[in-house]
């Protein structure tokens, strides 16, 4: 190669590509050149069994198993197109995750063994059009989607929809083609509803108050030190509005609580209230 070719003849781009092919395939001055054609209008050779090339106007190709890597006026170069071996534990040589979350760029997935590729911390915004696909090489030549949404991908299948906002760990099994998207962020709690907890016959001594405690965090999760103090609105009836999750079965009890004094529990079985989907409800019990 001569400088004039590189800089003066407008061949820089083509020469750069050939240099790249030469480097990628490890060709050097001791490479074995197998000349397969040497005619007036055609010179063809295979170098190190990795790169095939022809010069001249004559037609020639190395046949199946070769991929055209570069070509121009009266020359063409092919490579064997072999791909790197797959990582231990996986079948495909690589795997990319592409979707609306990265504008269909190629996020590299990691082989976790047992044919499972994984990418963590993938954040989706919850848009109705959010989706993704698996792509072996990042060039769409071998990509997987899920046309019938059964959790098992198909080669060149449809985009996989993911419309619930959150951060996900996405896995893809390159043997079974089963994929999963597991949300790793805690979903926001459902909107609360109001329960008016009422404890009747709550007769108390000075310093003693009536509380409720129950099976959900809003009622202290049965921890008396986190129980909710009621108000003696209509003594000896005590009550308080407490915001609790909607559509939830709650077990609860009335307590009499005072410092340095044993807690007095309402007798009998736990009270049960199932909260409504919206609005408010009253739950009443008695000492």
Residues that bind Ca ion (CB under 5 A): 146, 148, 150, 152
- Least distance (Å) between residue 182 CB and Ca ion: 18
Smallest separation, CB 155 to Ca ion (Å):
11
User: Please, which residue, 157 or 220, has the CB nearer to Ca ion?
Assistant: 157
> Whole-number minimum distance, CB 31 to Ca ion, in Å?
46
Q: Which is nearer to Ca ion, 155 or 224 (CB)?
A: 155
Closest CA to 266 of 206, 217, 224, 234: 224
Looking at the Cβ atoms of 87 and 158, the one nearer to Ca ion is 158
Residue 211 CA to residue 228 CA, distance in Å, equals: 5
Q: For 93, which DSSP code?
A: S
Nearer residue to Ca ion within complex by CB, 124 or 144: 144
* Nearer to Ca ion among residue 135 and residue 146 (C-beta): 146
Least Å distance, CB 143 to Ca ion, is: 14
* Helices of type H across the chain: 3-8, 12-24
Q: How many CB atoms lie within 10 A of CB 19?
A: 12
The rounded radius of gyration (Å) of the Cα atoms in the chain is 36
Q: Residue with structure tokens 């592409």?
A: 98
| Least distance in angstroms from the C-beta of 163 to Ca ion | 18
Q: What share of the chain is helix, strand, coil (3-state, %, to 5)?
A: 10, 45, 45
């Amino acid at each position: 190669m001569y400088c004039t070719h590189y800089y003066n003849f407008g061949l820089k781009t083509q020469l750069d590509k050939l240099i790249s092919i030469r480097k990628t395939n490890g060709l050097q001055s001791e490479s074995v050149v197998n000349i397969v054609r040497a005619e007036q209008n055609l010179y063809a050779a295979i170098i190190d069994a990795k790169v095939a090339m022809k010069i001249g106007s004559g037609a020639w190709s190395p046949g199946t198993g070769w991929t055209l890597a570069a070509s121009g006026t009266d020359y063409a170069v092919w490579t064997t197109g072999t791909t790197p071996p797959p990582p231990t534990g996986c079948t495909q040589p690589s795997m990319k995750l592409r979707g609306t979350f990265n504008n269909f760029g190629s996020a590299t997935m990691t082989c976790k063994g047992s044919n499972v590729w994984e990418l963590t911390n993938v954040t989706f915004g919850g848009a109705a059009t959010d989706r993704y696909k698996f792509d072996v090489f990042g060039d769409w030549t071998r990509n997987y989607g899920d046309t019938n949404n059964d959790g098992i991908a198909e080669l060149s299948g449809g985009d996989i929809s993911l419309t619930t906002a959150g951060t996900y760990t996405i896995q893809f099994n390159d043997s079974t083609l089963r994929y999963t998207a597991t949300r790793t962020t805690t979903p926001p709690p459902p909107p609360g509803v109001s329960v008016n907890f009422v404890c009747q016959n709550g007769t108390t001594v000075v310093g003693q108050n009536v509380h409720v405690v129950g099976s959900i965090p809003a009622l202290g999760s049965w921890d008396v030190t986190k129980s909710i103090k009621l108000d003696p609105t209509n003594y000896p009836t005590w009550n308080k509005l407490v915001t609790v999750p909607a559509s939830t079965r709650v077990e609860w009890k009335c307590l009499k609580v005072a410092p340095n004094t044993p807690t007095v529990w309402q007798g009998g079985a736990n009270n049960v209230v199932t909260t409504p989907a919206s609005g408010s409800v009253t739950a009443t019990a008695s000492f």
